[in-house]
């Protein structure tokens, strides 16, 4: 069987890289940009850094600062209408996954007539655009700056659906922009990146490049996430987490996520808790579930986490050992359990049909049945108290 991996988008990386946004936009042949972000970005003063870089390069600026978590199709349509009426020729997404995904979707709507809701289907559609996008992540987690995925919420059906972006994307990865991320968000986003890494290594569509990048991401996250959680201003930790998120993003851009994200999406629909927190809750149970199918990959993950996996362990032992290390990582960065957050076992387990219904499960190395989905959700509650 052959696997396919492709080049990722260009990445401009380093402390202060945000100062290069303007020259990057100019190099794309653009003269007027729509800046897409949320109020958190402006509260942290990050929008001003981007605007200063754009102004310095003589790029016109239009602001769309209305993005909220899990951006809705209506928000994308409003942004697309603004982009069209202002005649912009570039879209800049500044923020976490929500702003970056919205920016990608807005660029698609400039070549595909809105509303965006008509393109939100299962399986996800691929749309093309000639309008370039520049993405400036301000958290270290989603990896959205290097993936084609846009996750948009359809309000009428309460569904989060994906759309694939085909067009020019440039990433500007500046770890200084993550210095003001609060501890809980640091923990959640770091565990999102960790989940991308684990799922990239173990999914059916895994490939050799994804494995290298994802293992490197795991080493950096295990070492630096607890530090960044405790000491947000630690630049070494922030830099390593920015790289980890980016590498895990490149990894899953090819290899895709799988059942860990099915569990996370089910928890998200049930509790409306942050994506990275849901990924964290699901990850140890995913590991236990897939250990018998991919013990060699689990051993690599365990070794990257600093465990002494010798290969002599049974697959079940290996799964338990790695899952326990993930729970320890979660505890070291203050991640509460569903029980501690006030949710009941029944509520958690009620998400099992949703997890089973997710298309991502087909990339899981284990054939997911309703019974396996049920026991995974039980484990989410029972095994992390
Ligand atoms: Fe994710």
pLDDT for position 7? 74
Instruction: State the pLDDT confidence band at 3, using cuts at 50, 70 and 90.
Output: confident
What number of other Cβ atoms are within 10 A of residue 98's Cβ?
26
Phi and psi dihedrals of 306, rounded to 5? 95, 10
Instruction: State the pLDDT confidence band at 375, using cuts at 50, 70 and 90.
Output: very high
Question: pLDDT tens for residues 147-185?
Answer: 999 999 987 777 788 999 999 999 999 999 999 999 999
DSSP letter, residue 116: G
Domain boundary among 118, 147, 178: 178
The boundaries of the domain holding residue 46 are: 11-178
* Residue where the block lists tokens 């700056």: 145
- Residue 3 included in any domain: no
Q: How far does residue 137's CA lie from ligand 1's centre (Å)?
A: 14
- Asked if 80 contacts 109 with a C-beta cutoff of 8 angstroms, the reply is yes
Query: Given a cut of 80, is residue 380 above it in pLDDT?
Result: yes
What's the number of domains the chain is made of?
Answer: 2
Q: How far does residue 261's CA lie from ligand 1's centre (Å)?
A: 7
What number of other Cβ atoms are within 10 A of residue 238's Cβ?
25
Instruction: State the pLDDT confidence band at 227, using cuts at 50, 70 and 90.
Output: very high
Of 69-73, 112-116, 144-148, the one with minimum mean pLDDT is 69-73
Q: How far does residue 264's CA lie from ligand 1's centre (Å)?
A: 8
Q: How far does residue 186's CA lie from ligand 1's centre (Å)?
A: 14
Q: How far does residue 191's CA lie from ligand 1's centre (Å)?
A: 9
- Residue 341 included in any domain: yes
For the domain that residue 120 is a member of, what is the CATH number?
3.40.50.1970
- Asked if 171 contacts 11 with a C-beta cutoff of 8 angstroms, the reply is yes
For the domain that residue 303 is a member of, what is the CATH number?
1.20.1090.10
Average pLDDT over the chain reads 96
Question: pLDDT tens for residues 57-88?
Answer: 999 999 999 999 889 999 999 999 999 999 99
- Residue 220 included in any domain: yes
Residues 143 and 188 in one domain: no
Question: pLDDT tens for residues 281-294?
Answer: 999 999 999 999 99
Q: How far does residue 196's CA lie from ligand 1's centre (Å)?
A: 6
pLDDT for position 160? 84
Instruction: State the pLDDT confidence band at 5, using cuts at 50, 70 and 90.
Output: confident
Domain boundary among 140, 160, 178: 178
Q: How far does residue 265's CA lie from ligand 1's centre (Å)?
A: 9
Q: What is the mean pLDDT of residues 242-262?
A: 96
Residues 6+ positions from 24 with CB-CB distance below 8 Å: 12, 134, 170, 172
Instruction: State the pLDDT confidence band at 8, using cuts at 50, 70 and 90.
Output: confident
- Residue 6 included in any domain: no
Residues 207 and 172 in one domain: no
- Asked if 48 contacts 81 with a C-beta cutoff of 8 angstroms, the reply is no
Question: pLDDT tens for residues 337-346?
Answer: 999 999 999 9
Distance from C-alpha of 160 to C-alpha of 267, rounded to nearest angstrom: 12
Q: How far does residue 132's CA lie from ligand 1's centre (Å)?
A: 24
pLDDT for position 332? 98
Q: What is the mean pLDDT of residues 102-109?
A: 98
Q: How far does residue 29's CA lie from ligand 1's centre (Å)?
A: 32
Q: How far does residue 46's CA lie from ligand 1's centre (Å)?
A: 23
């Amino acid at each position: 069987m052959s696997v396919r991996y492709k080049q990722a988008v260009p990445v401009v990386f380093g402390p202060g890289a945000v100062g290069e946004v303007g020259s990057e936009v100019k190099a794309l042949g653009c003269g007027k940009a729509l800046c897409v972000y949320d109020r958190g970005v402006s509260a942290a003063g990050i929008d001003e850094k981007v605007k200063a870089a754009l102004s310095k390069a003589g790029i016109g600026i239009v602001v769309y600062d209305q993005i909220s978590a899990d951006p809705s199709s209506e928000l994308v349509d409003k942004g697309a209408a603004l982009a069209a009426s202002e005649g912009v020729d570039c879209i800049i997404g500044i923020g976490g996954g929500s702003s970056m995904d919205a920016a990608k979707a807005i660029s698609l709507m400039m070549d595909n007539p809105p509303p965006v809701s008509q393109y939100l289907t299962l399986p996800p559609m691929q749309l093309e655009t000639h309008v370039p996008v520049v993405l400036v992540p301000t958290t270290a987690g989603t990896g959205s700056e290097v993936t084609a995925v846009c996750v948009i919420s359809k309000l009428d059906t309460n569904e989060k659906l994906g759309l694939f972006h085909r067009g020019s994307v440039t990433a500007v990865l500046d770890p200084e922009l993550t210095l003001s991320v609060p501890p809980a968000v640091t923990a959640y986003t770091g565990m999102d990146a960790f989940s991308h890494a684990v799922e990239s290594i173990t999914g059916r569509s895994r490939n050799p490049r994804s494995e290298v990048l994802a293992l490197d991401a795991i080493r950096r996250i295990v070492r630096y996430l607890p530090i960044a959680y405790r000491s947000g201003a630690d630049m070494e930790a922030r830099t390593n987490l920015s790289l980890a998120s980016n590498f895990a993003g490149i990894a899953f851009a090819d290899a895709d996520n799988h059942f860990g994200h099915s569990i996370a999406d089910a928890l998200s629909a049930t509790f409306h808790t942050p994506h990275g927190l849901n990924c964290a809750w699901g990850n140890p149970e995913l590991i236990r579930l897939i250990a018998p199918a991919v013990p060699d990959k689990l051993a690599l993950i365990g070794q990257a986490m600093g465990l002494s996996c010798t290969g002599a362990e049974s697959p079940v032992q290996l799964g338990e050992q790695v899952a326990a290390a993930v729970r320890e990582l979660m505890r070291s960065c203050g991640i509460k359990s569903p029980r501690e957050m006030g949710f009941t076992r029944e509520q958690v387990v009620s998400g099992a049909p949703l997890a089973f219904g997710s298309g991502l499960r087909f990339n899981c190395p284990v054939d997911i049945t309703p019974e396996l989905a049920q026991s995974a959700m039980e484990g989410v509650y029972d095994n992390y108290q």
